[in-house]
Amino acid sequence: MASKSNPFAFLQQVRTETSKVTWPSRRETMISTVMVLFMVVFAALFFFAADQLIGWALSFVLNTGN
């Protein structure tokens, strides 16, 4: 079982650990954000195209197409 400690000591430890984190620069954050947005758009277009292709193939196989 975990030992109980003083909440103020816990917050001090959290602050100490947070100061050890290497935070990304503004440029790195912007590049990562743009890359994520690009990949989201790419994935959305890919799955849209795959859905349309599968729908067309099913309608062709089942003879429900026009």
- In a domain, residue 33? The reply is yes
Q: 50 lies in which domain range? A: 26-66
Cα dist. 49→8, 13, 65 in Å? Answer: 55, 51, 18
- In a domain, residue 9? The reply is no
Which SS3 state, helix, strand or coil, does residue 63 take? Answer: coil
User: In this structure, what are the phi and psi dihedrals at residue 17, rounded to the nearest 5 degrees?
Assistant: -65, -35
Q: How far is CA 48 from the centre of its chain?
A: 19
Q: What is the pLDDT of residue 55?
A: 92
How many structural domains does the chain have? 1
Q: What share of the chain is helix, strand, coil (3-state, %, to 5)?
A: 75, 0, 25
Q: Mean pLDDT in each 10-residue stretch from start to end of the chain (66 residues)?
A: 75 92 94 98 98 93 73
- In a domain, residue 18? The reply is no
Q: pTM of this prediction?
A: 0.63
- In a domain, residue 41? The reply is yes
- In a domain, residue 4? The reply is no
Tell me the residue length of the chain: 66
